[in-house]
Structure 1
Amino acid sequence: MSLQNQVVLVTGAGRGLGRAIAQAFADEGAAVVLDYRTSGDAARELAEKIGADRAVALRADVTDRAQVDALFAQAREHFGRPVTAVVNNALPDFSFNGDARDKADEIAYGAFGAQFDGVIAGALNVIQAALPGMREVGGGSIVNVGTNLVQNPVVPYHDYTAAKAALLSLTRTFAADLGPDGIRVNMVSGGLLRTTDASAATPEAVFDLIASSTPLRKVTTPEDFAAAMLFFVSDWSRAVTGQNLVVDGGLVMN
């Protein structure tokens, strides 16, 4: 598939899953905006590897609307055209280690608030900042990163899962609202990925258990997940919106 006409903004693109997503789009010919908050060196290194004509690394905290607006303005200035697709991947600091997470009788609402600020406020800021450019070109694609824990809450990531469940709701309501503008909104949801910075604390035995529980007998990698993202930005998905694709080797079947 060719994505040469697309300018794709990936939030949290300096490392881990975001980096794999940005690389996947670049490999298919898209111009890529690599948003980062703290991983500037890694984001700039990837942008340099892809090439200045097709990639730029820009810093913005997605929870700050002014920074997000500046991000879109800088991206347009660099490429000379608006962003046509966004991937909401940025995540508040979180360690995917179930043994270290607060259980139901311990967790405070502040933990939920922190996740909602990052996941929902961040996605909202990015989507709203993207809309003028997408409307200018007659359409666009928004892809939100979700989790299969919404369907299969096997570990007590209460705050993280609640925020991602809200993001799924936002995906569907925004799809209905923005469809008349030719703007599609979808979600790709993964399980535990092998391996990102966030999942580095996960015990190896947990990875092995997940692998043995999937029909494909493997744990999904960031590259596996990123490949599924391409469909939702390509013209192949031109009639698809409001959907949630679970990419976890078949562990959760919708």
Structure 2
Amino acid sequence: MNLKDKIVVVTGASRGIGAAIAKTFATEGAFVVVNYLKNTALAEKVVSDIEAMGGQAVAMQADVQDIQQVDHMMTEITDALGGIDVVVNNALSHYTFNPKTRKTAWEIEWQDFEQQWEGNVHGAFNICKAAMPYMKAQMAGRIINVVSNLIDFPVVPYHDYSTSKMALLGLTRNLAKELGAFGITVNAIAPGLTYPTDSSSETQENVRKSIIDLTPMHRLATPDDIAGSAVFLASDWASFITGQCLNVDGGLVMK
């Protein structure tokens, strides 16, 4: 995949999809920064797993919603490693995909939208803002934002989560337009319901089954499925792809 010695930052990488993305990049020869918010033990476990496979990684704590923490992390990375080649914005505000506990349109409050906006959009904005100067200087870079196939097919109307992910797709396309002149591509990945993850742990079996029945591939996405698409978008094979949203959901959404 031509990712040997690339410096890759994966946010929210201590578990789930983020951990799978970090490990997959490492198997392709990249040096991976495992960003995390709170759980140092889990993040260090991801690093240990990568090192056990012969890869290179380091765990770095930073709240992506705090621009000062993000700037400090980016400075540490560039001082130690010399640059930033790829960022994967995977971190999100905590969310549980449980139709029984979700808030309906008449129950949800604006504060619920704000909470998802902060984690999903503001966090990605901060990471992009901090990484852009380094990518512009080297006239190359890859930005990959993790959204959701719910923006096209709200099989369950998770209003606050899906709306924030649609906003993140808007940010993706606007950045792609402006950063292309600097050799920087900006794309999004839209996973379907991914199992197992913390967010999907409370999704009832009947809901999972109904999604599987609707999906041409007749299964749910796994974290490794999402990781493979991220590595592809970061590779030279995707050097002329930008502003796109890649649905990774077994064909549930077809565009």
TM-score interval, smaller chain: over 0.9
Q: How high is the TM-score relative to the length of structure 2?
A: 0.96
Comparing 102-111 with 44-53, which one deviates more in the overlay? 44-53
Structure 1-normalised TM-score?
0.97
The aligned amino acid for 2:9 is: L
Tell me which moved more, 112-121 or 46-55: 46-55
SS at match of 2:147: strand
| Corresponding residue for residue 73 of structure 1 | 75
Question: Is the CA contact 1:172–1:242 (under 8 Å) kept in the aligned structure 2?
Answer: yes
Structure 1 equivalent of residue 6 of structure 2: 6
- CA distance in 1 between partners of 2:156 and 2:88 (Å): 25
Contact 1:34 1:43 survives alignment (8 Å)? yes
Unaligned runs of 5+ in 2: none
In 1: Cα distance, 2:75 partner to 2:16 partner: 26
Tell me how far apart the structure 1 counterparts of residues 16 and 244 of structure 2 sit (CA, whole Å).
24
Paired residue secondary structure (1:73):
helix
1:40-79 aligned within 5 A = 40-51=40-51, 54-78=56-80
Which string of whole-angstrom CA distances, capped at 9 and with x for unpartnered residues, describes residues 121-178 of structure 1? 1011000100121122221000000111110012121000000000011111110011
Q: Which runs of 5+ in 1 are unaligned?
A: none
Query: Counterpart amino acid of 1:55?
Result: A
Give, in angstroms, the shift of residue 53 of structure 1.
Answer: 7.2
The aligned residue for residue 247 of structure 2 is 246
* Aligned counterpart, 1:20: 20
In 1: Cα distance, 2:76 partner to 2:221 partner = 34
Instruction: Give the whole-Å Cα distance in 1 for the aligned partners of 2:145 and 2:233.
Output: 10
Matching residue of 1:129: 130
Number of residue pairs matched by the alignment? 253
**Shift in Å, 1:10:** 0.3
Question: Is the Cα–Cα contact under 8 Å of residues 26 and 55 in structure 2 kept in the other structure?
Answer: no
Q: 1:240 deviation in Å? A: 0.6
| Aligned twin of 1:204 | 205
The one-letter code sitting in structure 2 at the alignment partner of 1:152 is F
AA of the residue aligned to 2:138: V
Q: Who is 1:120 aligned against?
A: 121
CA-CA distance at 1:100 after TM superposition: 0.5
Distance 1:211 1:228 in 2: 20
Identity %: 45
In structure 2, what is the equivalent of residue 237 of structure 1? 238
- The within-5 A match list for 1:173-212 is 173-212=174-213
Structure-2 residue corresponding to 1:226: 227
Residue equivalent to 1:141: 142
Provide the secondary structure at the position in 2 that maps to 1:195. Answer: coil
Question: Which amino acid is 1:182 matched to?
Answer: G
